[in-house]
Amino acid sequence: MRGLAGPSEWTSPGTWLAAVMSISSLSNGVSPHPSGRYRLPSRSVKPLAEQPDPPDTLDETIPQALGERGVPANTIETVVSLCKRRGFVFPSGEIYGGTRSAWDYGPLGVELKENIKRQWWKTMVQSREDVVGLDSAVILPRKVWEASGHVEAFVDPLVECLSCHRRFRSDHLQEEFAERTGKQPAEGDLSEVPCPNCGTRGQYTEPRSFNGLLKTFLGPVESEEGLHYLRPETAQGIFVNFLNVQTTSRKKPPFGIGQIGKSFRNEITPGNFIFRTREFEQMEMEFFVEPGEDERWHQYWIDLRTEWYTDLGIKSDNLRHYEHPKEKLSHYSKRTVDIEYRFQFSSGQEWGELEGIANRTDFDLTTHSNHSGVDLSFFDQTTGARYRPFVIEPAAGVGRPMMAFLLDAYAEDEAPNAKGGIDKRTVLRLDRRLAPVKAAVLPLSRNSDLTPKARDLAAQLRKNWNVEFDDAGAIGRRYRRQDEIGTPFCITVDFDSLEDQAVTVRERDSMTQERVALDQVEGYLAARLLGC
């Protein structure tokens, strides 16, 4: 999208999909924990490297997939179609035409979202001695946003196409044009930039400031006194609770406060599926450090957050760091680095932001101290020094990582069928920790002896994991359905199970199968679903 952030380069079907898509250095390991309390082992981040009816017999689905993993050129359109068809994501209010600014997450989508949030919370909060959690209000006092600078400075440059009268952010138009053509227009120059909607070149109004805060009113009358804002970020709820959390949890810098919750921004041009929406979920952590220690901690969190994505299956070739130029930094930032993913949007834009890691200095605690009259500083009893901590902020959404995980996991490969031919197989190779369904229990056929046994097994396994029961269709077809949604294990109860009290467990990626005793299935899965 823009420049690199380090020494190494990282780089619809139907009308609803058309509407979705129309607008649109790595280090060699994790930095040692600067305090010495969490010296994580350094590790290199390395690259990871419609179906015909499948056969009815179990043994004929055993062969390994043939050939290398394949990914179609139009991966985004393919994955968006899969999301709608299989129940990951639906257009919000689809029966009334839908909207580009909001999406509803279906049965599989909500499971995937929850798994992403669960992994973030485990990594960023539960597994660390120096981070605690918070859940602050969506509607904060208006003075919070006045003090933080959002009322005055949370603005974007808005232009309107003089031909079709669609409105866009001028900086986004320039960035996408530069990435698509390799030409970098001068600041504010849109003379060569075509309208993404109608194609007219260079015909725009002069940019004007557009505030992205969404207003609401509290109380029975829509008056100035009742004017409030839906939060555009979760961070401010953390800053105003700094003293509450610090004193009650008895933490001292370096320590962090993590939060997951909904935020709202009046985006000028929402689009690119769930990439840019007006309502979204954030996963943010504010890490408070002693001034002078901020730069080391900033790099530490850049490295650690990058590793989180690769550990959960994102190929490092599809990631890069983008360093914000000093002249484009937010008003609170000393330095900001984005982790970007190679989305390859249909608009021609290749990269998009996954997460930003900002050095916010002491801006937030200072401005809230000044506006509230409450001193948000820390007194170090060991040294006798009082200071206002600097803040390092790793901030990610939930929708964008979800989109990246789906794109990176999508694959099409080939497998032999029972007739000696080759079938194409669609599979989501999601990390097991993220997979919406962990296992599917499949009776070989609808049979009065097999079905109750399979249902009992599914009920037992559901006490620990999200498990599906499916007895509709040929066994091979049911395998393919589970492959397409990323289910790691399929467990088949067959007629031999009535005699030997064992089942066949099939693994998603290799399609290998093994026989496991019924009373050992739970332990078998537990050993392979660690961290889920």
Quote the CA–CA distance of 469 and 488 in Å, as a whole number. Answer: 14
Question: Cα–Cα distance between 200 and 500 in angstroms, integer?
Answer: 71
- The token pair at 55 is 């056969």
Contacts of 156 (CB under 8 A, 6+ apart): 169, 171, 209, 210, 212, 268
Give the integer Cα–Cα distance in Å for 257 and 274: 27
For residue 520, the Cα-to-chain-centroid distance in whole angstroms is 35
Q: What is the DSSP letter of 11?
A: -
Name residue 372's amino acid. S
CB neighbours of 248 closer than 8 A, spacing ≥ 6? none
- Please report, to the nearest 10 degrees, the dihedral formed by the alpha carbons of residues 504, 508, 510, 511 taken in order: 40
What torsion do the CA atoms of 55, 57, 62, 67 make, to the nearest 10 degrees? -10
523: left (phi over 0), alpha (psi -120 to 50) or beta: alpha
Concatenated DSSP letters of 42-89: P--------PPPPPSSSGGG-SPPEEEEE--TTHHHHHHHHHHHHTSE
The answer to whether residues 502 and 453 touch, using CB atoms and an 8 Å cutoff, is: no
DSSP letters, 420-488, are S-EEEEEEE---TTT-S-SEEEEESS--TTHHHHHHHHHHHHTTTS-EEE--SS-HHHHHHHHHHHT-S
The answer for residues whose C-beta is within 8 angstroms of residue 375's C-beta and 6 or more apart is: 369
Taking each helix axis from N to C end, the angle separating 107-121 and 399-409, rounded to the nearest 10 degrees, works out to 110
Structure tokens belonging to residue 300? 């530490």
- Rounded distance, CA 280 to CA 101, Å? 10
Rounded Cα distance between 297 and 359, Å, is 9
Q: How far is CA 165 from CA 147, 194, 207, 346, in A?
A: 35, 13, 14, 22
Binding residue positions: 169, 233, 265-267, 275-284, 353-354, 393-400
Torsion of CA 453, 459, 465, 467, to 10 degrees: 60
Annotated binding site for ATP: 265-267, 275-280, 353-354, 397-400
Q: Are 284 and 235 in contact (CB under 8 A)?
A: yes
Q: What's the Cα-to-Cα distance from 428 to each of 70, 83, 84, 398, 514, rounded to whole Å?
A: 12, 11, 15, 19, 21
Query: Among 490, 493, 509, 491, which Cα is nearest to 501's?
Result: 493
As annotated, the binding site for substrate includes: 169, 233, 280-284, 393-397
